[in-house]
Amino acid sequence: MRFYKPALAVLPISLLASGAFAQDQPEDNRLKFSISGQINRGILFFDDGGETGEIFVDNDNSSTRLRATLSYDFGQVTIGGHTEFEFEFSSTAEINQINTDDSVSVANERKFELFVEGGFGRLSFGQGDSASNGASEVDLSGTTVVGYSGIADFAGGLLLRDGAGALTTSRIGNFFSNLDGNSRIERIRYDTPTYKGFTGSISLGQDDQEDLAIRYKNDYGDYKVAGAISYSTTNSRDRIHGSVSALHNPTGISLTFASGSDDLDSGARDPGFNYVKVGYQTNDLLAWGKTAFSIDYYDGSDIGAAGSDSESFALLAVQNIDRYNTEIYAGYRTYSVDSPGQTFQDLDGFLVGARFKF
């Protein structure tokens, strides 16, 4: 692993903040500096139809990461910088039956951007989220740390076996996608102020990627509702995708739906997916904090190859431990892939772990 990039990037912000808050300087509450992050580790058990095993992993549903933000409030306008780095040892999106140790690891920048915000909204420049990122992932179930519409994050690195039991070079991640936006693209992005629950976003990024998105969040009596829809285009495809989620607070029951499709210029295939989740959460089961359960189903087509079909089903559970900013979780997921000219065996995964936020 090479940690020098994250260290060198965070160091200047840290030095600026330490200088600003030195005792021999007058206090200025308009200057703000924060460091935060999370550690998310687990064990992934799997049965690929020919082999069973277990691997210590970093949960790619919400990876281990570190972030720093420095900003200055000028009154009507705030200007600042934001950087976020990811540290993953044996990521569930990369680890497989052949490479089962922490040699499969990632240390890279997720976000490295400047921003200015005020009554006009927020303008961001640098590496960060495209306007469409997250539009497929609105989810009020309380179980996203272990499962959401991006179901390849659960065990996407594992290799599929063919009908004869031999490992192929095809990964779970090749056939499952929620067609969401890019979380680490060089772009300029603008977000409007929120009006009656609606926020609009637009971004222009590298590789001629252009994104438009509308997000919504509001409460209606006992109901909490959130959703997003986005359109994006590059030099090779057009994409529309979105999601909506609703939570009934008195009962704790939630319903989530996500969908998306691509129009590829090549015309060779038309990738698309649908995802549905039903959840239940309660504060009455344990005094530690909220307990959440959910069940979900994913159906994809043409994701990995023309004519391919991919399905997944999951049972998920999360227990919050509020006192320690920690969630412990467990999830079972099964993957099934049909592809023309290729037979694959189903793959089952069971992931247990914990996420600690600081």
| Under 8 Å between Cβ of 345 and 339 | no
Q: What is the pLDDT of residue 102?
A: 57
Beta-carbon count within 10 A of 54 CB = 12
Q: Rounded distance, CA 92 to CA 102, Å?
A: 11
pLDDT along the chain (358 residues), means of 10: 39 42 58 97 97 96 97 97 94 90 72 98 98 98 98 97 96 98 96 98 95 98 98 96 98 98 92 98 97 98 96 98 98 97 96 98
Strands 326-339 and 347-357: antiparallel
Q: What is the pLDDT of residue 8?
A: 38
Q: Rounded distance, CA 105 to CA 88, Å?
A: 5
| Under 8 Å between Cβ of 248 and 229 | no
Q: Which residues contact 157 (CB under 8 A, 6 or more apart)?
A: 91, 92, 93, 94, 95, 96, 104, 171, 172, 173
Q: Reduce the DSSP state of residue 48 to 3 states and report it.
A: coil
What pTM value is reported for the model?
0.91
Q: What is the pLDDT of residue 24?
A: 46
Q: What is the pLDDT of residue 108?
A: 86
Q: What is the pLDDT of residue 15?
A: 38
Q: What is the pLDDT of residue 103?
A: 56
